[in-house]
């Protein structure tokens, strides 16, 4: 089970990670800007009179501000963009028994978790899954796929929602939504540069003469290669940041689900059903995969253990999660005197 010390430690850790993620993101853009300044200064140093000479390093200032603006935009619009990208529709007036049950369960689990009731969304998708997004306890949303509503019993659905409530309460949603927003922003930026380089012929001229270009140092060539690669690989870097977030957040959310529902076996059963369902997600892409209760992309690394898997995997192995939940259920039944050996 979770305890207040673990919860508060996770909340503080997520706040720190969110802060340093933004700092690192802005610093990356500053490198793109000031690195471009240095390249432009070196490339135009020997240009003839009347040609452009790059003197003021204004690229750095502009790009640092641009990075800060992107981070702010990702923070402010991240939850809406994640929901929009998955085609989620908000349930404000339940129209079917399944929608009524979902809204009732979310309200019940919000009371159990002692947090405000999140907004409720449904995603039309054959892959049974769920995720939470938002900024804090008072600005959170929970989305489930239509397949999850069909697949799970009420107790299992309650356990899945309680798991997502755990992510809301320990502020995982803040860090993970920010990551999703930054992944999307850098992907757009990198795609734009690819079009400029490869569709525009890849020619950039600073007005330097042919003879002076041959005098450029090897350091210039190395920095130029690193600078261009930084632009092109920016989405990969941010995706690695998303992958590198500790798997322990899922274990803690599982424990919080067991605490809120007093029924860890219900979540174990729901995860087992989700794991055995083979329908791939049609709408949840890589940028939001780390938000889900189960990896919607079905990556092999999510089923493995070890240091490399801990770094690259967004989710711990489902078999390990299910075993832990069953062990919790055994302990509860044993303490209550209701355990019956198989």
Return all residues near 80 (Cβ < 8 A) that are at least 6 apart: none
- Average pLDDT of the segment spanning 175-200: 66
173: burial class by Cβ within 10 Å (0-12, 13-18, 19+)?
buried
Residue 203 backbone class (left: φ over 0; alpha: ψ -120 to 50; beta: rest): beta
pLDDT for the residue numbered 175: 81
Q: How far is residue 32 CA from its own chain's centroid?
A: 23
| Residue 225: how many other CB atoms lie within 10 Å | 10
Please count the CA atoms within 13 angstroms of the CA of 23 that sit on its side-chain side.
Answer: 6
pLDDT for the residue numbered 212: 47
- Average pLDDT of the segment spanning 83-104: 94
Q: What domains are there in the chain, each with its CATH number?
A: 4-85+175-243 (no CATH), 89-173+245-336 (3.30.2010.10)
Nearest of 109, 33, 20 to residue 65 by alpha carbon: 33
Q: How far apart are CA 301 and CA 143, in angstroms?
A: 25
3-state per-residue secondary structure call for 53-68: CCCCCHHHHHHHHHHH
pLDDT for the residue numbered 96: 95
Decide if pLDDT at 66 tops 90: no
Please spell the DSSP secondary structure of 234-249, one letter per residue.
Answer: HHHHHHHHHHTS-THH
The mean pLDDT value of the chain amounts to 81
Least-confidence region, from 48-62, 78-92, 135-149: 48-62
Q: Name the strands in the sheet holding 89-90, side by side, starting at the edge strand that comes first in the sequence.
A: 89-90, 119-123, 139-145, 130-136
pLDDT for the residue numbered 75: 81
Report which listed range, 172-181, 196-205, 331-340, is most confident: 172-181
Q: How far apart are CA 228 and CA 205, in angstroms?
A: 15
Decide if pLDDT at 274 tops 60: yes
Q: What is the pTM of this model?
A: 0.76
Beta partners for residue 145, in sequence order: 123
283: burial class by Cβ within 10 Å (0-12, 13-18, 19+)?
middle
pLDDT for the residue numbered 281: 83
Please spell the DSSP secondary structure of 170-192, one letter per residue.
Answer: TTHHHHHHHHHHHHHHHHHHHHH
Query: Which DSSP symbol is given to 302?
Result: G
Q: How far apart are CA 112 and CA 53, in angstroms?
A: 65
Phi, psi of 123 (to 5 degrees): -115, 125
Query: Which DSSP symbol is given to 217?
Result: -
Give per-residue pLDDT as tens, 31-57.
888 888 888 888 888 778 878 888 888
3-state per-residue secondary structure call for 109-126: HHHHHCCCCCEEEEECCC
Contact 44, 54 (CB under 8 A): yes
Tell me the catalytic residues.
164
């Amino acid at each position: 089970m979770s305890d207040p010390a673990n919860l508060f430690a996770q909340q503080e850790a997520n706040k720190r990670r969110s802060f340093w993620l933004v700092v690192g993101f802005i610093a990356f853009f500053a490198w793109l800007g000031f690195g471009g300044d240095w390249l432009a200064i070196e490339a135009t140093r020997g240009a003839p009179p009347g040609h452009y000479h790059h003197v003021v390093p204004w690229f750095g200032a502009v790009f640092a501000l641009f990075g800060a603006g992107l981070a702010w935009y990702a923070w402010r619009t991240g939850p809406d963009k994640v929901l929009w990208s998955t085609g989620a529709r908000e349930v404000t007036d339940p129209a079917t028994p399944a929608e009524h049950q979902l809204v009732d369960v979310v309200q019940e689990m919000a009371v159990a978790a002692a947090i405000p009731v999140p907004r409720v969304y449904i995603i039309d998708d054959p892959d049974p899954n769920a995720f939470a997004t938002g900024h804090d306890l008072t600005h959170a949303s929970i989305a489930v796929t239509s397949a999850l509503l069909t697949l799970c019993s009420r107790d299992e659905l309650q356990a899945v929602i309680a798991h997502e409530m755990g992510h809301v309460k320990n502020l995982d949603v803040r860090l993970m939504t920010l990551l999703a927003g930054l992944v999307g922003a850098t992907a757009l930026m990198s795609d734009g540069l690819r079009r400029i380089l490869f569709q525009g012929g890849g020619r950039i001229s600073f007005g330097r003469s042919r003879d002076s270009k041959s005098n450029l140092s090897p350091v210039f060539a190395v920095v130029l290669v690193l600078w261009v690669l930084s632009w092109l690989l920016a989405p990969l870097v941010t995706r690695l940041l998303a992958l590198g977030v500790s798997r322990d957040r899922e274990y803690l959310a599982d424990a919080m689900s067991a605490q809120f529902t007093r029924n860890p076996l219900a979540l174990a059963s729901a995860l087992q059903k989700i794991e055995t369902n083979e329908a791939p997600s049609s709408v949840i892409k890589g940028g939001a995969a780390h938000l889900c209760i189960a990896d919607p992309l079905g990556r092999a690394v999510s089923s493995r253990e070890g240091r490399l898997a801990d770094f690259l995997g967004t989710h711990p192995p489902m078999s390990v999660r299910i075993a832990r939940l069953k062990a919790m259920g055994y302990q509860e039944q044993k303490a209550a005197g209701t355990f019956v050996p198989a």
